[in-house]
Amino acid sequence: MTPPKPLLDRMLTAWHERGALLKALSFGMIGVVNTAVDLGVFFLAYGIGHLPLIPANVLAWAVAVSCSYVMNSFITFARESGRKLRWRDYGTFLVSGIAGVIANTTTLVVLSYWVPVLAAKLAAIGVSFLVNFSLSHFVVFRPGKGPRDAR
């Protein structure tokens, strides 16, 4: 009879096996960091730089999505990406992120008529999380492929 694995070993095994739930949690934790980046850039551009709502939001998205690609390639989808940054994958990530930024911007603009801009922005981030994770998981970093060869 083998003794039970220590908790840390079980956690590391689960982390390496990476089910969709763990990936979603990792994606979400990275999303928290990128939310701070997005909000910071957005409010610098909108509040201090006086850019209109949509350009400020798109600029904030562009900075945050680039950070997101790097972190997700090395953490959440490390197995699928082989922990390598590739221009082609980055391009696919950006293109798939367009659906997220459209959902984000639409939510932001529509809600900004009824709630404060900060509340609208936070709701927009939640909507884009659902879109972005789904596209990242099923399109950009397709599950079950293992590390892809260099392109």
**Per-residue confidence band for 107, with pLDDT thresholds at 50, 70 and 90:** very high
pLDDT at 18: 53
- Choose from 16-20, 106-110, 135-139 the range with maximum mean pLDDT: 106-110
Evaluate if residue 15 carries a pLDDT over 80: no
Instruction: Please tell me the number of Cα atoms within 13 Å of 23 on its side-chain side.
Output: 24
Nearest residue to 64 (alpha-carbon basis) of 32, 35, 28: 35
Q: DSSP letters along 19-67, please?
A: -HHHHHHHHHHHHHHHHHHHHHHHHIIIIIS---HHHHHHHHHHHHHHH
Evaluate if residue 149 carries a pLDDT over 70: no
Cβ partners under 8 Å of residue 119, min gap 6: 111
C-alpha 60/C-alpha 46 separation (Å) is 10
pLDDT in tens, 44-90: 999 999 999 999 988 998 899 899 999 999 998 888 888 999 998 89
**Per-residue confidence band for 95, with pLDDT thresholds at 50, 70 and 90:** confident
Torsion of CA 73, 78, 84, 90, to 10 degrees: -30
Evaluate if residue 112 carries a pLDDT over 90: yes
Evaluate if residue 40 carries a pLDDT over 60: yes
Domain locations along the chain: 19-140
pLDDT at 29: 93
How many CB atoms sit inside 10 A of residue 130's CB?
A: 12
Three-state secondary-structure class, residue 151? coil
pLDDT at 101: 83
Radius of gyration of the chain (CA): 18
- DSSP annotation of 5: P
C-alpha 131/C-alpha 97 separation (Å) is 8
